A and B are shown apart, each in its own frame.
Chain A
């Protein structure tokens, strides 16, 4: 770690502007700022294409609206509620709009019998949702923070995930979707910044989805709600407001278990999801155009490296094919996630890739993750993988 960057030159007296000089979420090239690029989002599938010939032009007659991620989530929930009479949204404080405003006005629009508050009762919420889903209802539950999902762990792993299998297919909780804000904000600390996706990796029968932007959130959430399997939908909470896109206002889906290749390249594969996708983007930029302060640590020979950045999007079951196809071409893999390293999703990806791509690998699979500590109060920014750590890992892997 930090091998080549351990001694950073002291910055000059004036502190850099908040967010630094490099690309951040606000200026990311992965966000779609205009109607035209928004409507042509790759993999997007219109759900009600009755009046347009989508095969020829998906864009004609479609509109977009500027939304951040919480507004996009709200938009998806609104579509789910208006198109499906059995859909209900419930969770702690959702009738008031939720702590992150994702359910704002839904109770007023669809009625308090369909959008309602629950007691503070995570295990109860999950169990209640499973029962409701098994009756054929579309149950959309919110766990207020992903950190609070652990009381519901038993219900999710033992009831929701196994319901179909243990009843030989006669019962299931497929219509259950559990939304929960996840990942770090920079000051959430032990109980408001965790990324618990790794804990669910062994729970075959559930799906885990993590979007990176408003368009992705809307399309993936609608897919998750309609997927006939229970889905845990983790929304990176720092992106609720910071990521803004033109989002198509119509009903559309983005397929699950399909990773998206954000930048093409043949020298190194970087896999991530959620918030760190943007840190990876920054690191890519640092590699090709290192800022003055670190330029001396970035060998010129690496600056033209072509890097393939993949947003995994669905964490379980993950898109093995897209990742292994890429690594077979590049021979190198860096996995970036916020959760701690031991037993994290990166370990699983690394194991599979080393099995499938063993003879093609030119470097060990590198993980850039949170540390094996609780998410700390004092040093959260050091816990979360930042662009420097990602850059360091990329360089180490490229020069192995």
Chain B
């Protein structure tokens, strides 16, 4: 031991490279106007130079073309998403939502940004923090809230709940950490097999990124050159453990070995939009899989049963809320660039609240599923066993 100690003291202390290395910046409002913003024509803006970092690849262009129409649409969508999540929060606390409920408040730029640069033909498959995708990709607020409440108007007929939401253009919320990632490889293989130019986005969090099957999926995707974008939503905490305490490499975009990756400011919707567009272009031009890490932050706890303040400080949350909020960032762009007045945006806020409130009431009015639904959708209709057993003889179900 004595020798070891001597050696150790002889080696100079490793100097942290952190202050010298450029890191991604996650402000939501650092995009600059190139030219005067037009109300009718697309105009070009420039992202902050630290919006992207690349691994084995160049990064997307910082010059992005946007339109007033799109910016306002994104603002509306993000506002509705946040209102909806806040409604879910309230419903859970009223004990009207049972089971699990994971909210994406703070991460709105990612769902809205991903949707903005994809079509309904592209596949998105994700984890259990996925309420936003329902209303962005073919569902309604009512059908989402209905699902959370376990009502028949829900997207899964009230049989799945918060973690199990699907639409025609969204391949689902999946409740097992990391389980959806190899499914994404399967989806991408089908697109490649059929010769279709569609992208598949297989999403997971920084916590799930340490699951073995994520690496199994990377390997298959690169081996077979699948058009799959692996999207890591890095919100800094896997449940109650910070990324630094769970991952040997917290630069999740570099974890694909031979698979190139980019890291993206996940708080600036324009950066997310640009990165998604670029990623889609990448995989649909036969360049194989890609890793995309969106650096973001979740304001709430991991799930409703986690206050979210035992493993991080209230100050940390408050700081990010007040300086990096994706909706406030977009709001600044819209007002600073003279695209709409503050009152116009307030009107959108009001509309969003009214829309969500109305949908919540409609969903609450929807009945619970019929008892027989307990027996259906286990096996395909017509191919099920003749009888499913209940608790008692009378309770069984004959198909």
A contact residues vs B (CB 8 Å cutoff): 86, 88, 113, 116, 118-119, 121, 123-124, 126-137, 139, 154-155, 158-159, 164-172, 174, 204-205, 207, 227-229, 256-257, 317-318, 320-321
Contact = CB atoms under 8 A, between A and B. Distances in A.
19 contacts: A123-B216, A124-B185, A127-B186, A127-B216, A130-B182, A131-B184, A131-B187, A135-B186, A137-B193, A155-B213, A159-B174, A164-B378, A167-B160, A167-B172, A168-B377, A204-B379, A205-B379, A227-B383, A318-B385
B384 A317 contact: yes
A74 to B, nearest CB: 22
Given A124-B213, A128-B186, A134-B171, A168 B193 contact: no
Interface of B: 125, 154-160, 164, 166, 168, 171-172, 174-176, 179-191, 193, 212-213, 216-217, 219-220, 223-224, 376-380, 383-388
Contacts of B224: 116
Contacts of A127: 179-183, 185-186, 213, 216-217
B185 A165 contact: no
B378 A124 contact: no
A133 B184 CA distance: 11
A168 B217 contact: no
Contacts of B182: 123-124, 126-128, 130-131, 155
Contacts of A155: 179, 182, 213
A229 B183 contact: no
A40 to B, nearest CB: 26
B383 A133 contact: no
B172 A171 contact: yes
B363 to A, nearest CB: 15
Contacts, number: 145
Nearest to B174: A159
B176 A159 contact: yes
A119 B185 CA distance: 13
Given A166-B164, A320-B385, 14 more contacts: A113-B193, A119-B219, A123-B213, A127-B185, A128-B182, A131-B183, A131-B186, A131-B187, A131-B190, A159-B179, A167-B172, A207-B379, A229-B379, A317-B385
Instruction: Give the residue among B159, B216, B388 with the most A Cβ atoms within 10 A.
Output: B216
Contacts of A118: 220
A119 B216 contact: yes
A95 to B, nearest CB: 13
A121 B219 contact: yes
Contacts of A131: 125, 182-190
Given A128-B189, A132-B190, A154-B179, A169 B220 contact: no
Instruction: Give the residue among B166, B181, B224, B376 with the most A Cβ atoms within 10 A.
Output: B166
Contact of A134 (B181, B186, B193, B380): B186
A124 B220 contact: yes
Contact of B176 (A121, A158, A164, A171): A158
Contacts of B156: 166-168, 170
B220 A128 contact: yes
Contacts of A228: 380, 383
Contacts of A119: 216, 219-220, 223
A256 B385 CA distance: 9
Instruction: Give the residue among A88, A124, A172, A317 with the most B Cβ atoms within 10 A.
Output: A124
Nearest to A128: B186
List the 4 closest A-B pairs by CB distance, nearest first: A131-B186, A127-B182, A124-B216, A317-B385
Contact of A169 (B157, B191, B212): B157
B321 to A, nearest CB: 33
B380 A168 contact: no
B323 to A, nearest CB: 38
Contacts of A137: 190, 193
B221 to A, nearest CB: 9
Contacts of B385: 257, 317-318, 320
Contact of A132 (B158, B180, B186, B379): B186
A223 to B, nearest CB: 10
Contacts of A121: 216, 219-220
A133 B185 CA distance: 12
